Structure 1
Amino acid sequence: MQNFTDEITLALNRRAFLRRNTAGIGMAALSSLLQESQASEKTSTPTGGLHFPARAKRVIYLSQSGAPSQLDLFDYKPGLKKFHKTELPDSIRRGQRLTGMTSGQKSFPIAASMYQFAQHGDSGTWMSELLPHTAKIADELCVVKSMYTEAINHDPAITFLQTGSIQAGRPSMGSWISYGLGSENRDLPTFVALTSGAGGQPLYDRLWGSGFLPTRHQGVKFRRSSDPVLFLSNPPGIDQQARREMLDDLGELNRLSLQQKGDPEIATRIAQYELAFRMQTSIPELADLSEETPATFELYGEQAKQPGTYAANCLLARRLAERGVRFIQLYHRGWDHHLNLPTKIGQLTGETDQATAALILDLKQRGMLDDTLVVWAGEFGRTVYCQGTLTATNYGRDHHPRCFTVWAAGGGMKPGMTFGQTDDFSYNITESPLPVHDLNATILHCLGIDHKKLTYKFQGRDYRLTDVHGNVVQELLS
């Protein structure tokens, strides 16, 4: 009995010791948060970067969820017309892995794009007739035709693109950038996610999650409405002063809990409540488009007046960038064109082309493109062979991780260039292959971050966005 009593006493003493010491850790975390908040009010880093002078202060990432067909948009292959409906040679496919959707096909007929291509701008960048507005900004774009990925299915592929790992649970790129650079505006989130489009692949909150990083670095998802954040207005009978007093009392309770439990996430909760209070003023002003000129809506298109559309989100992204939000992630669903591609891809480019180009032009005319990095990317590409029945006016394309096209503009990327090449079938890369980790390392470089030094220790290991890989691609930099 005495031994049992001694064990209980020892456990209680150990628990008390840990509680006192972890409370100190938690209070240190809270102090750090408050200092970070105060610092962001008063100063900004002279270079805007973490390890060396930065070219970009912020990123707008235009994620085209579902994988646009590079063959029908950017990767012009005129020679395919003579091979239309013929079997893709085994020497090209090389026995490479297929998805479950086409692995049972007995033949793999080549489907040449039915769209006309032309060169645009002084750079002579090739683009499809589906992108008339993007064609006008050809000389602003750094087009990469030689991207490839490790994943062949949507969920692991988009997870890999956004977090650097095909397995869920890692911090998203926006969270890493929030962790590395902090905020430029204490009244708005550092990282905002916006969604649009319908159908196709689902979008998961973990794509803008913070993983094992402190939760204050996760993205705040705005709703598809004129009121992008819930509960901004005080309930009936509660004015701003009363809300302030309630938060003060709640903060005291949370501080007591922090002292007792020592959980750093409680410190995060305190800081997030304070941010939410400040957002009651900043978000309504942000979402109020009445100050935008008719010329702006003409630039972005009429859909920009409809909250939740891709065009409206592009305009909102510019407004967020103006106000110092570090990372703005747009996801537009619907690009998963296994069947009836000609019908569906025209609809998707109709929803996105004008607003995408408008965002670049708008940033440029406001003097913001130089320090804003805009990235346009899907999670992988599309096959040259047809999935399903191939006719004169209809075809579909399966997933293709071996090569796809992305582009970037502004923020230190070299404008008016095309990087990398693929073979005559847009199936294999023939020049300058660019893996996902290299793209992410280059994005961080534009922000002044050495991707090898932006690390976070978790479960005894130092993690980073690029894992143990990645090289900055100097040829892409201006």
Structure 2
Amino acid sequence: MNWLQEQTRRHFFRNCGVGLGKIALASLLAESSLGITAAQAEPISPFAPKPSHFPAKAKRVIYLFMAGAPSQLDMFDYKPKLAEMEGKPIPPSVIAGQRYAFIQPDAAVLGPRFSFAKHGECGAEISDQMPHLAKVVDDIAIIRSVTTDHFNHAPAQLFCNTGNGVPGRPSMGSWLSYGLGSEANDLPSFVVLKSGGSLSGGAAMWNAGFLPSVHQGVPFRGQGDPILHVSNPTGYDDQAQRDSLDLIRDLNRQQLAQIGDPEIKTRMEAYEMAYRMQSRAPELMDFAQEAKETLDLYGADPKDTKKSFANNCLMARRLVQRGVRFVQVYQADWDHHSDVAGGVRSQCRKTDQACAALIQDLKRCGMLEDTLVIWGGEFGRTPMVESSAALGRSQGRDHHPQAFTMWMAGGGIKSGFSYGATDELGFNVVENKVHVHDIQATILQCLGIDHTKLTFRHRGLNFKLTGVEEHHPVLDLLA
């Protein structure tokens, strides 16, 4: 909420005329008579834990976001009919009236690039490119019927992360930080970890939008200080830093009491958080404390300076173990308009082991039952290539918002469960359609939040993560 639009009573009294300043003075004197002044009062921390609307199954979230859109048809949604029709034009009735980034009218069907098999007691059918996930398939819920409103990367990534396709809205992690607070007092409530290439949605995907900026995501680096400038410069000792911070805090308190700008509170929290993190960060980043068994489980390398997905998954577990509310792990480079087989194979080599290890590690630590893990991209991939001529040359798939796959685990989600279905071409959802806003409502439900009640008033309207249309948590997914 913009503080200029929501003036405090004291700010109004101070700046308007007709003698109301005397009323403000009387108010301050009344506070002094109680022995507490506004400048002396310690503001409530925006990270203080807050009660949920109802008992929660999950306390924290790790969101593994596969930016670029993985091909569900080559990983989770096996369609033998595509193999039968490979090379033939897609029936015109299927794509009539559809809009695509690159698809041509003569687009040819492309069959699954890999073999599929059933795994676990649940019998979930997945691709041979995910041998590690196959071992934990009884611990996850696969949702094959997700749909979205956007077919281009940037707006679709923003939509999944913020509930809206344009920049400027609060991200999911920011909403949770604002709505629930944090269990950590020496780490941010919302942390961002990135690997791979660039992200189309950019930093707007972890921005706080119109929420107080203290709730925005904090990107961690893979080497050196996890956050730039968190360490003291040479020659600046702890006592000098503490004295400086105390003086700045006192001045900020006075200014906060005078004008009521919440961004002053954000600065105060940032200074104190950075100070506390200076002692916590070195321990957090030190993977040498982890057993070799754990490092091997993830495929993590303590000496890795490139910030691999495996290292980020292990870091995510370490962060939630220390009370961080929401960890967003981005893995880019899933955009395979050509050579979808090579692209999926390469990305699965980078991600499959660590995804499964995260489930196993959380379970081993006794944390999976109250940690919600989510995997998915911004949309799916088409059952056809971009043109018939491209079939022998590129064998890539285009953007497909009508149907894609996500999976969830822990935190109140049914295990060993498959939900939703698409038609024989994997083109449209035919059973249990799940909108992205429904996914977001389900995440909030697991955390004990009624998605219709987590709102913030901005410019005269009550905004929420799940938009203005009617959406619901998917109760069939809940244990």
Same fold (TM over 0.5): yes
Corresponding residue number in structure 2 for 1:441: 441
Task: Say whether residues 1:13 and 2:22 are aligned partners.
Answer: no
Give the deviation of 1:331 after TM superposition. 0.6
Of 296-305 and 438-447, the range deviating more from structure 2: 296-305
The question of whether the paired residues in 2 share the 8 Å contact of 1:111 and 1:390 is answered with no
Change (3 A) 1:304 1:69: farther
Corresponding residue number in structure 1 for 2:256: 258
> 1:67 corresponds to which letter in structure 2?
A
Task: Tell me, in whole angstroms, the C-alpha distance in 2 between the residues paired with 1:360 and 1:340.
Answer: 30
3-state SS, counterpart of residue 146 of structure 2: strand
3-state SS, counterpart of residue 384 of structure 1: coil
Corresponding residue number in structure 2 for 1:76: 78
Change (3 A) 1:19 1:450: farther
> 2:87 corresponds to which letter in structure 1?
K
Relative to its length, the structure with more helix (as a share) is 1
Task: Tell me, in whole angstroms, the C-alpha distance in 1 between the residues paired with 2:318 and 2:164.
Answer: 31
Corresponding residue number in structure 2 for 1:285: 283
| Mapping of residues 76-225 of structure 1, within 5 Å | 76-99=78-101, 101-102=102-103, 105-198=104-197, 201-225=199-223
The question of whether the paired residues in 1 share the 8 Å contact of 2:69 and 2:379 is answered with yes
The question of whether the paired residues in 2 share the 8 Å contact of 1:85 and 1:390 is answered with no
Task: Tell me, in whole angstroms, the C-alpha distance in 1 between the residues paired with 2:18 and 2:183.
Answer: 42
Residue deviations 1:256-275, cap 9 Å, x none? Answer: 33344331211221121111
Corresponding residue number in structure 1 for 2:9: none
Residue deviations 1:80-125, cap 9 Å, x none? Answer: 11100001112222321222x22xx241100001200001101111
The question of whether the paired residues in 2 share the 8 Å contact of 1:59 and 1:372 is answered with yes
Corresponding residue number in structure 1 for 2:6: none
The question of whether the paired residues in 2 share the 8 Å contact of 1:304 and 1:310 is answered with no
The question of whether the paired residues in 2 share the 8 Å contact of 1:423 and 1:430 is answered with yes
The question of whether the paired residues in 2 share the 8 Å contact of 1:33 and 1:271 is answered with no
Task: Tell me, in whole angstroms, the C-alpha distance in 2 between the residues paired with 1:113 and 1:19.
Answer: 75
3-state SS, counterpart of residue 234 of structure 2: coil
Give the deviation of 1:224 after TM superposition. 2.6
Give the deviation of 1:145 after TM superposition. 0.3
Of 202-211 and 258-267, the range deviating more from structure 2: 258-267
Residue deviations 1:228-279, cap 9 Å, x none? Answer: 1122321122111110001111122323333443312112211211111111
Task: Tell me, in whole angstroms, the C-alpha distance in 1 between the residues paired with 2:18 and 2:392.
Answer: 76
Change (3 A) 1:262 1:155: same
Give the deviation of 1:13 after TM superposition. 3.0
The question of whether the paired residues in 2 share the 8 Å contact of 1:29 and 1:267 is answered with no
> 1:64 corresponds to which letter in structure 2?
M
Change (3 A) 1:302 1:191: closer
Corresponding residue number in structure 2 for 1:6: none
Task: Tell me, in whole angstroms, the C-alpha distance in 2 between the residues paired with 1:67 and 1:18.
Answer: 61
Corresponding residue number in structure 1 for 2:32: none
Task: Tell me, in whole angstroms, the C-alpha distance in 2 between the residues paired with 1:96 and 1:420.
Answer: 22
The question of whether the paired residues in 1 share the 8 Å contact of 2:178 and 2:215 is answered with yes
Residue deviations 1:383-423, cap 9 Å, x none? Answer: 01102544468510010000000000000001111100001
Equivalenced residues, count: 454
| Mapping of residues 309-328 of structure 1, within 5 Å | 309-328=308-327
> 2:177 corresponds to which letter in structure 1?
S
Task: Tell me, in whole angstroms, the C-alpha distance in 1 between the residues paired with 2:144 and 2:229.
Answer: 44
Change (3 A) 1:427 1:154: same
Task: Tell me, in whole angstroms, the C-alpha distance in 2 between the residues paired with 1:273 and 1:30.
Answer: 18
The question of whether the paired residues in 2 share the 8 Å contact of 1:156 and 1:166 is answered with yes
Corresponding residue number in structure 1 for 2:33: none
Corresponding residue number in structure 2 for 1:34: 44
Change (3 A) 1:30 1:110: farther
Task: Tell me, in whole angstroms, the C-alpha distance in 1 between the residues paired with 2:154 and 2:473.
Answer: 26
Task: Tell me, in whole angstroms, the C-alpha distance in 1 between the residues paired with 2:428 and 2:243.
Answer: 63
> 2:472 corresponds to which letter in structure 1?
N
> 2:80 corresponds to which letter in structure 1?
P
3-state SS, counterpart of residue 62 of structure 1: strand
Change (3 A) 1:174 1:87: same
The question of whether the paired residues in 1 share the 8 Å contact of 2:146 and 2:406 is answered with yes
Residue deviations 1:115-156, cap 9 Å, x none? Answer: 000011011111101111111111011000000000010111
Residue deviations 1:330-375, cap 9 Å, x none? Answer: 1111001111222222111111110111000000011000000000
Task: Tell me, in whole angstroms, the C-alpha distance in 2 between the residues paired with 1:331 and 1:159.
Answer: 13
> 1:133 corresponds to which letter in structure 2?
H
The question of whether the paired residues in 1 share the 8 Å contact of 2:155 and 2:201 is answered with no
In the superposition, the TM-score normalised over structure 1's length comes to 0.90
Corresponding residue number in structure 1 for 2:232: 234
Corresponding residue number in structure 1 for 2:31: none
3-state SS, counterpart of residue 195 of structure 1: strand
3-state SS, counterpart of residue 384 of structure 2: strand
Task: Tell me, in whole angstroms, the C-alpha distance in 1 between the residues paired with 2:85 and 2:186.
Answer: 57
Task: Tell me, in whole angstroms, the C-alpha distance in 2 between the residues paired with 1:130 and 1:302.
Answer: 19
Task: Say whether residues 1:396 and 2:400 are aligned partners.
Answer: no
Task: Tell me, in whole angstroms, the C-alpha distance in 2 between the residues paired with 1:446 and 1:359.
Answer: 19
Corresponding residue number in structure 2 for 1:472: 473
Corresponding residue number in structure 2 for 1:4: none
The question of whether the paired residues in 2 share the 8 Å contact of 1:29 and 1:264 is answered with no
Change (3 A) 1:116 1:474: same
Of 177-186 and 230-239, the range deviating more from structure 2: 230-239
> 2:241 corresponds to which letter in structure 1?
R
Change (3 A) 1:13 1:355: same
The question of whether the paired residues in 1 share the 8 Å contact of 2:40 and 2:253 is answered with no
Change (3 A) 1:17 1:386: farther
The question of whether the paired residues in 1 share the 8 Å contact of 2:39 and 2:257 is answered with no
The question of whether the paired residues in 2 share the 8 Å contact of 1:19 and 1:262 is answered with no
Give the deviation of 1:305 after TM superposition. 4.7
Change (3 A) 1:143 1:456: same
Change (3 A) 1:429 1:236: same
